[in-house]
Structure 1
Amino acid sequence: MKDLDAKDRLLLAALRADARRSLVELARHAGLSRSAVHERIRRLEDAKVIAGYTVRLSGDIARHEVEALIAVSLQQGRNCDHVVPYLTGIPQVVTCWSVAGPTDLMLLVACATNGELDTVRRQIASTPGIATVQTNVSLRMHFDRRA
């Protein structure tokens, strides 16, 4: 969606700061009616500009998970189209990026325990089309700017 105007951008910024803001608060903030804000948000959702809403846990709760970055190299002649559909089916794979360099994919994986991480790592490594996996376990998050 390329036709975002200043009001759309203002609403998006307000929602990124606090996605739980009411339509009345958003309307007041943007200088629009409640119904106009509701229509704009619906349009932004339909256009996939707003892909969803989420809950961010405090550091104490979120840290009960074991997080790892897993670098995946594909077998010769294989590409992401062969592998990504399988990875989508593993709920612990939170994010999957295609990357440039010796690694083909970088996965962010979140598990409850190290044992679960080991099981997930083995699932990933046994996926047809994957040549190698390299696992880097996160010890501590210093900051996260993602909303």
Structure 2
Amino acid sequence: MNDLDEKDRLLLGALRADARQSLVELARHAGLSRSATHERVRRLEAKGVIAGYTVRLGADREAPGVQALVAISFQAGRNCDHVVPHLTGIPNVVTCWSLAGSTDLMLLVECASNAELDNVRRLVATTPGIATVQTHVALRTHFDRRT
């Protein structure tokens, strides 16, 4: 993303705020013509900078009852290639990040209850190649720029 110019950044910021904006609205925001805006958006999509468009759920959405970050360390000689394929089969694991440092993976887990989180944590802990699991339950969200 280092090759993005100011106009690309303006377009991305506008799309983050409202991905349903028309090309005319985006063009006005970035100070470009509609056709130039369309070409830039297509280029950003082709390069994978824009990976998709989504819907943000409002306050009335059915939010998970419990969100947790689960920190994982691998057994000696194990890595993401050994562990991640097993984790993709656990539907409550929403996101999986590789990390630098003493923690190898961080999972974002969403569950309906603490009991369900405990079951998911047990599934994760018994995954071949995992040495340690630490679970950090989110008490509240102060802000989330992804939503």
8 A contact 2:66–2:112 mirrored in 1:
yes
After superposition, what is the alpha-carbon deviation per residue over 1:66-89, rounded to whole angstroms, capped at 9, x for unaligned?
A: 100111111111112211222223
Task: Report the secondary structure of 2:57's partner residue.
Answer: coil
Within the alignment, does 1:133 sit opposite 2:133 as a pair? yes
Aligned partners of 1:100, 1:42: CA distance in 2, in Å? Answer: 33
Question: Match of 1:15, as an amino acid?
Answer: L
Change (3 A) 1:91 1:38: farther
- Residue correspondence of structure 1 range 1-147 to structure 2 within 5 A: 1-61=1-61, 63-146=63-146
Aligned partners of 2:3, 2:64: CA distance in 1, in Å? Answer: 42
8 A contact 2:64–2:110 mirrored in 1:
no
Question: Match of 2:82, as an amino acid?
Answer: H
Displacement after TM superposition at 1:47 (Å): 0.5
Aligned partners of 1:32, 1:56: CA distance in 2, in Å? Answer: 27
Aligned partners of 1:100, 1:5: CA distance in 2, in Å? Answer: 29
Q: TM-score, length-normalised on structure 1? A: 0.85
Percent sequence identity is 76
Displacement after TM superposition at 1:59 (Å): 4.3
Aligned partners of 2:10, 2:103: CA distance in 1, in Å? Answer: 38
Greater Cα offset, 1-10 or 72-81: 1-10
Runs of 4+ with >4 A deviation: none
Question: Match of 1:20, as an amino acid?
Answer: R
Change (3 A) 1:125 1:42: same
Displacement after TM superposition at 1:142 (Å): 1.7
Displacement after TM superposition at 1:94 (Å): 1.7
Aligned partners of 1:15, 1:130: CA distance in 2, in Å? Answer: 39
How many matched pairs?
147
